[in-house]
Structures are given as C-alpha cells and as structure tokens.
Structure 1
Amino acid sequence: MRKKSTANRQAKAANNKSANGFIRIISGQFRGRKLPVKDVQGLRPTTDRIKETVFNWLMQDTRGAAVLDCFAGSGGLGFEALSRFADHAVFFELDKSAASQLKENINMLKLDNAVVKQGNSLSLLEQKTQNEQFDLIFVDPPFRQNLAEKSCFLLEKNNWLSAQALIYVEVESELSDLSSPDNWMLLKEKTAGQVICRLYQRQTN
C-alpha cells in the first residue's frame, strides 16, 4: 500500500507540474526571465505577440508609471511593465494559488516595488481611493464573465486614475461593442485571433 500511495503522489505531482507553465518577460531589465504560472481556471496569460504590440504602444509611457494590473493572473503585463522600469505595480488577483505565485515571483525577481492584493477585483475597485492613483492600468479579465466593462466604469468612478491615465483593455473578440467612460479616448485597437486589444487615454477638462 505504501508503494502504491507513493506512486500515486508522484503521479499527481507530475501531473500538477505538467499542468503549470511559465511566462517569459520579453524586454527590459528582466528580459528572458521565465516566471512560473499556476494552472488556474480562467487564467489566460497574454501571449508574447500581444505583449510586444501592447508595449510598443506604451513605449514612451511605462518608465516611471504607477501600474495597476486589475486581473493579474500570471502577472505577465504587470511584470513586463516593471521590467521596463515602471515605478511600482499593484496586482489584483482573486485566486489564492495564483496570488501566492505572484508573490513568489516578486520575491524571485527581488522586487520591492510590487504588491499583491488577493481578492475580487470588482470589490476592490468598488472602494474609492483618494491617496493612490495609477498612470497605467491593465484590464484583462477572464472571458465571458462580464467583468471588463464594469471594471472600466469603476476605475473612472472611484478615483483610481491619474489625470491622463492609460488603460489597456483585452477582451474576447465578440465584445466589439464594449462601452467605456465618455472621457476615455480610444488611441489604439487591434484584433488578434480571439481577442480585441484596446488602449484608451483618460481625458480631463
């Protein structure tokens, strides 16, 4: 029985290991580093090709930015921004195991300018913030859960955004009619396979 139990544990560990994966930082001070990612339902890391497009759009705007990764998942967008010398980043993540992995990856990269907040992103965004506003925000939620549009309006309503904040939104391609706050200007848009990528800039009077 002991041998069988040991074999079962080893098989389970092997399956878990194979189910998990890695993301790769594509540029900046951590270029080429691979970070472990938990296999979590709904977690959909942004592909390297899309990340390259997004950060080409943001080339002049990442350094020194205060970053909020609203549905962090693997943290691929937030870590990419930190690699490119963003000032600091806050990661929101609902899943406990994914949040724990984000913390481990922060420690692995020896970052002292990144924080993980484990919890429901919409609930976190419902809280008005007066002290901290963000210059660069990533909204890349799990598909088909009606999260992106709600997040965008909460960001605007509850004072999360700096005066001319940039907001990157990634949604499933069927959401071509996604609404955004009236004072957000669409700067860039690209359809890549099953996703639509949009970059907005907040406008203030």
Structure 2
Amino acid sequence: MSDRHAAAPGRIRIIGGTLRNSRLNVPDLPGLRPTAERVRETLFNWLAPVIAGARCLDLCAGTGALGIEALSRGAASVQFVERDAHAVQALRANLERLKTTGGQVAAAEAGLFLQGVPQPQDLVFLDPPFTLGLWTTLAQQLEQGGWLSAQAWIYVESSRASAPALPLNWRLHREGHAGEVHFALYQR
C-alpha cells in the first residue's frame, strides 16, 4: 500500500508541533521501518489531550520519529533507546540539528535497558523490529519493572499478521491498520 505522504529515501518528515515539516535523516539499515506519516498523524491526534508535559519512552527507537514527534508536540521529555550504533548516531545528529531539548539517547538493547533503574513514564512507544518478536517480553518488563505511571499510555506497532500478547490490565483505547502494520493505543 502506498503512502501518499511518503518521503524521499533517507528522509522522513515531522508532521506537527514546533518542528512541523522538519526532516529527519534516516540511515539505510536493514529492517529499519520508520512509522508512516499517516500512522503518526492518527496516533498523535489520539494523544492530543495527553501529550503536553508527558514523560515518554521510545523503545527500539530506530529513527526516533515517534519520540521526536512527541517532543515537537510538547512532551516534557523522551528517553530514546536504540541498539544499532548507526541508528543511535543518526538519532543524536537529528536531535542536535533540530536543537531539541528534553531528548536523551541510550545506546542499548531495549530488554537490557529495562533491567535498569525504572523511571515511570506517561507514554511508551513499543515498536520493536517485527522479525525479533519482542512485544510480549518488553511489555511484561514495562509492566512489572515499574516503568509505567499509574495511567500510562502505551502505543504498540506490530505486524498485522500477528497479535502480541500484552498485559491484561492494558485496555485497548483505539487501533488501526495501514498496509501490513497494525497499530494500537492502550491505557494502563
């Protein structure tokens, strides 16, 4: 399925907030799959009432498009977690070039990062590489490790072909599909 707002190879666009229309450089890495513009637009329309001042965690950040979009729309902070060194370098360069504040990048595997000292988050973006099948494991670590505030929102992006098993106390708020991608917003 074609996205009418598809960016040129190697670049994607921030679609709202103070950084609207800013471009992010995207490294050419196997399996790197930035969230489509129309999916981000839908997600942030859903999040509009809660994004201002939110503490966010962008696990398996990749390009960081979700977290940077959150910062652009008024999130207080975003902790980006990415294991690929080239993606980390590109993410740090994009944050510096855009002169953003409130974003920190951790070069780490998401599961190992979640074994550290928890910092409760208001919003978590859970979008691991589809081929690794990490949704259930990371969701359990988030829930049991103290990473979620009492009323946290959790965005989950997965393959349309497989539904991840998530904690029973995560209530589905909204969901949609775009091509082979299923995206859903849950509230704890």
Q: TM-score, normalised by structure 2?
A: 0.93
Rounded Cα–Cα distance in structure 2 between residues aligned with 1:183 and 1:128 = 22
More helix per residue: 1 or 2?
A: 1
The percent of aligned pairs where both chains have the same amino acid is 44
Alignment of 1:1-205 (within 5 A): 21-129=10-118, 132-176=119-163, 178-202=164-188
Matched residue count: 181
Shift of the alpha carbon at 1:126?
2.6
Rounded Cα–Cα distance in structure 1 between residues aligned with 2:69 and 2:140 = 25
Rounded Cα–Cα distance in structure 2 between residues aligned with 1:145 and 1:28 = 32
Shift of the alpha carbon at 1:144?
2.2
Rounded Cα–Cα distance in structure 2 between residues aligned with 1:142 and 1:109 = 26
What's the C-alpha RMSD, in Å, of the aligned pairs? Answer: 1.3
Aligned 8 A contact 1:93 1:118 in 2: yes
Q: Which residue of 2 aligns with 1:10?
A: none
Aligned 8 A contact 2:135 2:165 in 1: no
Amino acid at match of 1:123: L
Rounded Cα–Cα distance in structure 1 between residues aligned with 2:9 and 2:112 = 28
Shift of the alpha carbon at 1:109?
1.4
Amino acid at match of 1:117: A
**Which structure is larger by alpha-carbon Rg, 1 or 2?**
1
Q: Deviations over 1:118-155 (max 9, x none)?
A: 011111113341xx211010001111211111111110
Gaps of 5+ in 2: 1-7
Gaps of 5+ in 1: 1-18
Rounded Cα–Cα distance in structure 1 between residues aligned with 2:177 and 2:136 = 18
Aligned 8 A contact 2:71 2:78 in 1: yes
